[in-house]
Chains A and B, each alone.
Chain A
Amino acid sequence: MTKFVKGNEAVVIGALYAGCDAFFGYPITPASEIAHAAAAYFPAVGREFLQAECETASINMVYGAAAAGKLSMTATSGPGMSLMQEALSYLAGAELPGVIVNIQRAGPGLGNVYPEQADYNQAVKGGGHGNYHCAVLAPGNVQEMCDLTLDAFALAFRHRNPVIVLADAVLGQMMETLRLPSAEAPRPATADWAVQGDAATRRNLITSIFLNAPMQERHNQHLQAKYAAMQREARWETYRTEDADIVLTGYGISSRIARTAVDTLREGGIRAGLFRPITLYPFPAAALRATVDGRRIVVVELSCGQYRDDVALQLGVPADSLTLLNRMGGMLITADEVVAGVQARLRGAVCPSPAADPVEASDTSWTPDCPTATAP
């Protein structure tokens, strides 16, 4: 069974098949359709939908529902995500499962509502305080907006940890064919830790404070051991990499554009392939190293090199040794720009700058930097 839906709607369908009990959210472009669909579908299947007064309240409602062992989620975009960082730290500290969907828009600040991938570090490195990680899933199409949201709940409850679905404005706004999930997910067992207002769970406690420093250190060590165990959850996809001379890598919408570029490059006789991480935390480092295996690599992203820096870290090379093809500020890189960048890389030339749209000439003293880094 299929349905032609926006990525934002697919998120809600995935959540409901996961058994999500409650959606708490606050509207923001370009994520609002998630709240719209949740407001329509959650009550229709007997689940809770509540529009909160702000994103801070939304994520703390997720904290509350999670503490009760319920499946809950919220969805937002950059500014709202920033407001949620404190509570993400609390969720991680109290070991609570929750799903947070970020339909990335351009920043910093108010920015605009067009696609960017500049919340990478915030999601992957932890934007809140303390030693913690959220698991981060990066869908690449509408089907995955549904499927990875569904999987996010299982992941969150398996590790009792918040999970971020890091998408972008294109994936949220675009429509594609969605195959509905074949079955609803089984309900996770929570009675041994959740607080549910009954005799069985009366002595359970949800908190993240250990005033005794040695106990707080032990808690940190426990969390680090959990993140180490989470590494086995790493997921990725490769496309035409077997015989590739050059490997493109990107996640989310960038991987889609890079995929088209791979096909175009191959039509032109260049053996290109694509490595796409599906989990950003844990990062599929071993798979990336095995795929690249000494081959040239080009990074495609809609941010300043945040993802490139992680690729470099995992490959053990200096970040500026990797070719970065990127746009920022809500500008979508095109497949042609990626093709041209790869061709330039192969010629050993400086990458041509993707054609920047004209900037109002009110301040001629300011010249935007080349959005594309140089290649060696």
Chain B
Amino acid sequence: MNIKQSVGFYDTFERSGSPTRDTHYCAGCGHGILHKLICEALVDLGLQDRTVMVNPIGCAVFGYYYWDVGNIGAAHGRAQAVATALNRTLPGRVVIAYQGDGDLGAIGFNCTFQAASRGEHFATFFVNNATYGMTGGQLAPTTLIGQKSATSPAGRSAAHEGYPLHVCETLDQLQAPVYIARCSLADTKRIMQARQAIRKALEIQRDGKGYAFVEFLSPCPTNLGMDAIQAAGFVANEMEREFPLKCFRDRSAEAEPLPAPVPAPSPSEFFAGDAADAPVAGDDDFVEKRMKFAGYGGQGILSLGIAIAEAGRFAGRQASWFPSYGPEQRGGSASCTVVLSAKSIGSPDATHPDVLVCMNRPAFERFAPTVRPGGLLICDTLAGVTPAEAPAGVRFVQVPATELAEKLGVPRAANTVMLAALATLGATGLPREQLLAALDASFAKKPKLIPVNRKIFEEAGAWCREHLARAGG
């Protein structure tokens, strides 16, 4: 007998470790038919060397012993995520996800839905046989009402298991897919229609036009407890009644291929622009400073801390900044800790800060008792702290930061006033010019604000020189 050699297949199937020409599929199963249609189409379209197949779980888990293309096995339900990554990282290749109803429609349905919604550039071939094949005839999302399965022994009931899932109809609600069709493998006529749908889906991939989805109603005689003829009849009659054959969508004529990628700089070119040279000084005379900044969110607490830490970097110091974050940053209060040192910084936290800046009363109440004896406590006058309340052994300074900022026309610049106060008091151990440079840097994205903040820095500095003595002086 002269049987035509199928193309696109390996000559032998080595699943069991020894070469054989027998398939592992049962007589009357749809998988073998579908494998053959796909492989022939890939060869006819000249795509065999451009194709990566994402293999499923279930009976077709060993698809890669048959189709002679690049093969990857995916976890249960995740072929669409795997195919997404292949499409995104292998431009110009043809990617196919081959999945059954449990894989695609149950555990993996969100991955399917989202990949389709993103309009990923790959083809999905979805085998719907209304049961779980390799696992042993359990309820599938597409099991028909009344159909018995190992896990619905009395038959699927709408009240208990819900209705069969209509995958094509669901995906047809989405904007992105280019092609959606449902076919059948029940008889020769239907197989020829399926052949056309497969070619359409692969041509869309060849041309880089987008997401193509083809469902195949497929017989599973073994788990239906039928012979091959009965199973094909079940597909053509019972299944088709629930899942009508249809081309839901074909937008392949209008779909535009992806634009070619544009040249981009390398990381070293990209990051070179905004990095300042700053050799780390080994000056052991610099006394490690731990500073805490606290107030309401919106008072510029976090950016004040960053400016001082950045100034530390400009001055060649080790610097760390650790913020309050998470729900706290949305709940009103904000705080951060800055550590400046000549050597590697250990804890970025400050249980007993050398300097504490409080922009409001709650910050004072929470943190003032923690200031190290001999340390410095600076409060915005608005916090309403009296000198009598300040902890003993701590230098207490009040600065009308908010008031000065408002008077100078920028109410949000109270943090700049505090920076000037810290500079005037010599509280950070950093040179004034580095603090100013860091102030400028903090407005790198809003350069228009640099002059006004410099002005506030100068005027606040003048106020401080008039009203405050230098720290330790």
Tell whether A and B belong to one assembly. yes
A304 to chain B, nearest CB (A): 21
Q: A22 contacts B351, CB within 8 Å?
A: no
Interface status of A310 (Cβ within 8 A of chain B): no
List residues of chain A with CB within 8 A of the CB of B274.
Answer: 3
Q: List the A side residues contacting B275 at CB < 8 Å.
A: 1-3, 180
Within 8 A of B (CB), among A50-65: 50, 52-54, 56-58, 60-65
By a beta-carbon cutoff of 8 Å, the part of chain A in contact with chain B is 1-4, 13, 16-17, 21-22, 24, 29-30, 41, 43-48, 50, 52-54, 56-58, 60-65, 67-68, 70, 72, 86-87, 90, 94, 112-114, 141-142, 169-170, 173-177, 180, 183-184, 195-199, 201-209, 211-212, 215, 256-263, 332, 334-336
User: Is A198 touching B49 in the complex (CB atoms < 8 A)?
Assistant: yes
Give bound CA distance, A44 to B309, whole Å: 27
**Is there contact, CB below 8 Å, between A22 and B267?**
no
Known: A53-B114, A197-B50, A209-B61. A67 touches B276 (CB 8 A): no
Q: Can you add 18 more A-B contacts, CB < 8 Å, to A64-B89, A205-B64, A205-B72?
A: A29-B325, A45-B267, A56-B111, A61-B84, A64-B72, A65-B88, A68-B90, A86-B75, A87-B75, A176-B320, A176-B321, A177-B319, A180-B275, A197-B90, A202-B48, A202-B69, A212-B17, A260-B346
A207-B17 Cα distance, complex, nearest whole Å: 15
Q: A residues within 8 A CB of B352?
A: 336
CB of B264 within 8 Å of the partner chain: yes
20 A/B residue pairs, CB under 8 Å, sorted by A: A2-B275, A3-B274, A4-B321, A41-B270, A58-B81, A60-B82, A63-B85, A70-B85, A112-B326, A141-B344, A175-B320, A176-B348, A196-B70, A205-B71, A206-B72, A206-B73, A215-B17, A256-B346, A257-B347, A335-B349
**With A195-B70, A202-B68 given, is the CB distance from A64 to B326 under 8 Å?**
no
Interfacial residues of chain B within 257-297, with CB under 8 A of chain A in the complex? 261-268, 270-272, 274-278, 280
| Residue of chain B at shortest CB distance from A215 | B17
Q: How far is the CB of B304 from chain A (nearest CB, A)?
A: 13
- How near does chain B come to A167, taking the closest CB pair, in angstroms? 13
Q: B16: shortest Cβ distance to chain A, in Å?
A: 7
CA A212 to CA B309, docked complex, whole Å: 60
Closest to B69 in A: A202
Shortest distance between the CB of B292 and any CB in chain A (Å): 13
Within 8 A of A (CB), among B285-339: 306, 309-310, 313, 318-323, 325-327
Given A45-B265, A197-B50, are A21 and B89 neighbors across the interface (CB < 8 Å)?
yes
Is B401 engaged at the interface, CB distance under 8 Å to the other chain? no
Q: Is B51 an interface residue when CB atoms closer than 8 A count as contact?
A: yes
Question: Contact between A183 and B349 (Cβ–Cβ < 8 Å)?
Answer: no
* Minimum Cβ distance to chain B for residue A71 (Å): 9
* A60-B74, A196-B70, A256-B346 known; A72 vs B52 contact (CB < 8 Å): no
Nearest to B263 among chain A residues (CB) is A46
- Fill in one digit per residue for B81-123: 1 if any A CB lies within 8 Å of its CB, else 0: 1111110111011110000000000000011001000000000
B345 located at the interface, meaning its Cβ lies under 8 Å from any Cβ of chain A in the complex: yes
B78 on the A face (CB < 8 A): yes
B143 at the interface (CB under 8 A from A): no
B55 at the interface (CB under 8 A from A): yes
B373 to chain A, nearest CB (A): 14
The docked-state distance in angstroms from the alpha carbon of A307 to that of B326 is 26
Q: Which residues of B contact A46 (CB under 8 A)?
A: 261-265
| Complexed CA–CA distance, A173 and B94 (Å) | 41
Distance in Å: Cβ of B18 to nearest Cβ of chain A: 10
Q: Are A207 and B265 in contact (CB under 8 A)?
A: no
A15–chain B nearest beta-carbon distance, Å: 9
Chain B, interface SS category: mixed
Cβ 8 A contact of A64, one of B68, B84, B327: B84
Q: Which residues of A contact B265 (CB under 8 A)?
A: 44-46
- Bound CA–CA A170/B352 (angstroms): 18
- In chain B, what residue has the closest Cβ to A143? B344
- Taking a contact as CB atoms under 8 Å apart, the answer to whether B64 and A256 are in contact is no
Complex contact A184–B86 (CB within 8 A): no
Report Cα–Cα, A218/B309, bound state, in Å: 55
In the bound complex, how far is the Cα of B325 from the Cα of A183, in angstroms?
Answer: 33
Residues of A within 8 A of B272 (CB): 1, 180
CB atoms of A60 and B346 under 8 A apart: no
Q: Tell me the complex Cα distance, A29–B327, Å.
A: 10
Which of B52, B70, B88, B111 touches A48 (beta carbons < 8 Å)? Answer: B88
A117 to chain B, nearest CB (A): 15
> CB distance A64 to B268 under 8 Å?
no
Q: A87, A176, A177, A199: which has the most chain B beta carbons within 10 Å?
A: A177
With A2-B277, A57-B81, A180-B271 given, is the CB distance from A48 to B50 under 8 Å? no
With A2-B275, A30-B325 as contacts: A68 and B86 at CB distance below 8 Å:
yes
Tell me which residues across on chain B come within 8 A of A16, comparing CB atoms.
267, 270-271
Which residues of chain B are near A60, meaning CB under 8 Å? 74-75, 78, 81-82, 85, 111
- For B111, the chain A residues whose CB sits under 8 A away are 53, 56-57, 60
The residues of A that contact B16 with a CB separation of less than 8 Å are 212
CA distance A94 to B75 in the complex (A): 11
B48 neighbours in A (Cβ, 8 Å):
202
Q: Is the CB of A256 within 8 A of B86?
A: no
Specify the chain A residue showing the minimal Cβ separation from B53. A195
B71, A70: Cβ atoms closer than 8 Å: no
Query: Which B40-80 residues have C-beta < 8 A from chain A?
Result: 48-52, 54-55, 61, 64, 68-75, 78
Contact of B72 among A176, A195, A202 (CB under 8 A): A195
Q: Which 8 pairs between the two chains have the least Cβ-Cβ distance?
A: A46-B264, A64-B85, A260-B346, A197-B93, A207-B73, A64-B82, A259-B346, A60-B81
Q: Are A197 and B95 in contact (CB under 8 A)?
A: yes
In the complex, A208→B69 CA distance in Å?
18
Determine the residue in chain B with the shortest Cβ distance to A212. Answer: B17
Beta-carbon contact of B351 and A335 below 8 Å: yes
B81 touches A64 (CB 8 A): yes
- List of A residues within 8 angstroms of B61 by Cβ: 209
Chain A's closest residue to B24 (CB) is A211
Residue from B78, B84, B277, B313 within 8 A of A4 (CB atoms): B313
Q: Is there contact, CB below 8 Å, between B70 and A204?
A: yes
Asked whether, in the complex, the Cβ of A177 is within 8 Å of the Cβ of B278, the reply is yes
Q: B347 contacts A57, CB within 8 Å?
A: no
Verify A67–B72 contact, CB threshold 8 A.
Answer: yes
Enumerate chain B residues within 8 angstroms of A336, measured Cβ to Cβ: 351-352
B340-375 vs A, Cβ < 8 Å mask (1 yes, 0 no): 000011111101100000000000000000000000
Chain B CB count within 10 A is highest, among A64, A90, A94, A208, for: A64
Are B347 and A67 in touch, CB under 8 angstroms? no
A196 CB, min distance to chain B CBs, angstroms: 6
In the bound complex, residues from chain B placing their C-beta under 8 Å from that of A184 are 266-268
- How near does chain A come to B463, taking the closest CB pair, in angstroms? 29
Q: How far is the CA of A53 from the CA of B112 in the complex (A)?
A: 11
- Are A113 and B348 in contact, CB atoms less than 8 angstroms apart? no
Could you say which residues of chain A place their CB within 8 Å of the CB of B262? 46
Which residues of B have CB within 8 Å of A70?
85, 89-90
Cβ of A356 to closest chain B Cβ, rounded Å: 15
Instruction: State whether B73 touches A208 (Cβ < 8 A).
Output: yes
Quote the shortest CB–CB distance from B341 to chain A (angstroms): 10
Q: A183 contacts which chain B residues (CB < 8 A)?
A: 268
Known A175-B309, A208-B73: A2·B276 in contact at CB below 8 Å: yes
**Cα-based distance from A203 to B270 in the complex (angstroms):** 38
Closest to A48 in B: B88
Residue of B74, B265, B352 ringed by the most chain A CB atoms within 10 A: B74
Q: Which of A24, A46, A195 has the most CB of B within 10 A?
A: A195
B83, B318, B348: which has the most chain A beta carbons within 10 Å? Answer: B348
* CA of A317 to CA of B228, assembled, Å: 65
